[in-house]
């Protein structure tokens, strides 16, 4: 008699064979470490990237003890009026217990006697539902603005049992612009370079002058083939524009121009004297076809 291998009846069905093969493949993936195959849990409170705290400077100061490393900040020194941002992270092996959910904090300042007094928050926060930070977990980002605060050493105290000290310094005073001494300077006006323009398109011509802000400049725009103009005694009535304030006595002016005929033009503008007159040529072209 020939011995036959016994197969259960349900194993002879090809559908059951396929199901069995799928179960074997899933088991192999789990053994290989792909345990997140069916893990759709929303991972929250992971370590925030420090790049979310862009700072124009980074200064660290000596801290009282090692617990301050649990509070992450972009810098330990701030100018008054700046926003302080930080978060607490558990980088230790155990669990970090916070007294509230979400965790709270207070800010203290050092008095002249060396003692710490509360600037914001409460000295003894009321305990509610506690927060437990496992290794690598962190709190949300906390922010407070320092407008109106005094220059001093401050301490951020988290109800997670950690604190970190910072320094507030006066905001730097802007350096005033030092203008050179010019004495009695003759009136002058200048025209900035003018790019090529198109007919029937409004454009602006700008320049500078030492005429005072609010004073009037007279100007004319005319085809370059015409005789030179005299803004004081010419037959055409000149236009005018007002001077706007600039820097160190070099003020600015601007006029709007629109010309319908494509050709070369001249703009002449006067600061009020023959020597204080400027002339510049520019070209107006036909609008190119679309």
pLDDT higher for 16 or 159?
A: 159
- pLDDT higher for 227 or 139? 139
Q: Note whether 138 and 229 are same-domain residues.
A: no
Q: Are residues 215 and 252 in the same domain?
A: yes
Tell me the average pLDDT across 11-22: 55
- Any domain includes 82: yes
> Are both 165 and 220 inside the same structural domain?
no
Is 45 inside a domain boundary?
A: no
The reported pLDDT for the residue numbered 223 is 92
User: Does 63 lie in the same domain as 163?
Assistant: yes
Model confidence band, residue 46 (pLDDT cutoffs 50, 70, 90) = very low
Q: Is the pLDDT of residue 239 over 60?
A: yes
203-212 per-position pLDDT tens digit: 999 999 999 9
Quick one: pLDDT band at residue 181, thresholds 50, 70, 90? confident
Q: 204 and 273, same structural domain?
A: yes
Pairing of strands 163-169, 250-257: unpaired
- In whole angstroms, give the CA distance from residue 167 to residue 59: 10
C-alpha 156: how far from chain center: 25
Domain span at residue 74 reads 50-169
C-alpha distances (whole Å) from 102 to each of 14, 135, 244 are 55, 17, 55
pTM for this prediction: 0.45
SS3 letters across the chain: CCCCCCCCHHHHCHHHHHHHHHHHHHHHHHHCCCCCCCCCCCCCCCCCCHHHCCCCCCCCCCCCCHHHHHEEECCCEEECCCEEEEEEECCCCCCEEECCCCCCEEEEEECCCCCEEEEECCCCCCCCCCEEECCCCECCCEEEECCCCCCEEEEEEECCCCEEEEEEECCCCCCCCCCCCCCCCCCCEEECCCCCEECCCCEEEEEEECCCCCCEEEEEEEECCCCCCCCCCCCCCCEEEECEEEECCEEEEEEEECCCCCEEEEEEEECCCCCCEEEEEEEEECCCCC
Residue 29 has pLDDT above 60, yes or no: no
What pLDDT was estimated at residue 50? 35
pLDDT at 264: 95
For the CA atoms of the chain, what is the radius of gyration?
38
Residue labelled with tokens 């121009």: 257
Please report whether residue 36 resides in a domain. no
Q: Are both 158 and 260 inside the same structural domain?
A: no
For residue 182, tell me if it sits in a domain.
Answer: no
Mode of pairing for the β-strands spanning 105-110 and 152-158? antiparallel
Find which of 31-45, 120-134, 179-193, 219-233 is predicted with most confidence, using mean pLDDT: 179-193
For the stretch 60-73, pLDDT in tens is: 899 988 889 999 99
Q: Is residue 40 part of a domain?
A: no
In the predicted structure, residue 122 carries a pLDDT above the cut 60: yes
In whole angstroms, give the CA distance from residue 60 to residue 76. Answer: 5
For 88-100, write each residue's pLDDT tens digit: 999 988 899 998 8
Within-domain flag for 175? no
42 domain residue, yes or no: no
Domain end position, chosen among 169, 198, 225: 169
**At 158, which CATH number?**
2.60.40
Question: Structural domain tally of the chain?
Answer: 2
Least confident residue range of 31-40, 82-91, 164-173, 189-198:
31-40
**Residues 182-190, mean pLDDT to the nearest whole number:** 86
Query: 166: buried, middle or exposed (CB in 10 Å: 19+, 13-18, 0-12)?
Result: buried
């Amino acid at each position: 008699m020939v011995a036959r291998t016994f197969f259960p009846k349900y194993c002879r069905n090809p559908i059951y064979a396929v199901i069995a093969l799928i179960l074997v493949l899933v088991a192999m993936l789990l053994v290989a470490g792909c345990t997140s195959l069916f893990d759709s849990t929303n991972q929250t409170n992971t370590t925030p990237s420090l790049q979310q705290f862009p700072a124009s400077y980074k200064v660290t100061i000596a801290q009282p003890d090692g617990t301050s490393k649990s509070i992450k900040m972009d810098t330990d020194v701030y100018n008054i009026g700046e926003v302080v941002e930080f978060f607490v992270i558990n980088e230790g092996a155990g669990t970090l217990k916070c007294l509230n959910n979400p965790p709270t904090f207070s800010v203290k300042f050092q008095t002249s006697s060396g003692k710490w007094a509360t600037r914001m928050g409460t000295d003894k926060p009321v305990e509610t539902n506690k927060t437990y930070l496992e290794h690598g977990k962190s709190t949300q980002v906390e922010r407070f603005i320092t407008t109106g605060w005094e220059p001093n050493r401050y301490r951020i105290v988290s109800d997670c049992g950690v604190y970190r000290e910072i320094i507030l310094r006066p905001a730097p005073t802007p350096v005033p612009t030092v203008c050179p001494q010019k004495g009695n300077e003759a009136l002058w006006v200048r025209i900035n370079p003018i790019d090529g323009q198109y007919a029937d398109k409004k454009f602006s011509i700008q320049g500078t002058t030492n005429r005072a802000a609010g004073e009037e400049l007279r100007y004319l725009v005319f085809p370059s083939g015409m005789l030179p103009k005299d803004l004081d005694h010419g037959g055409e009535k000149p236009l005018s524009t007002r001077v706007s304030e600039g820097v160190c006595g070099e003020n600015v002016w601007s006029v709007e121009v629109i010309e319908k005929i494509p050709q070369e033009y001249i703009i002449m503008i006067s600061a009020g004297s023959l020597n204080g007159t400027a002339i510049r040529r520019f070209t107006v072209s036909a609008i190119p076809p679309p």
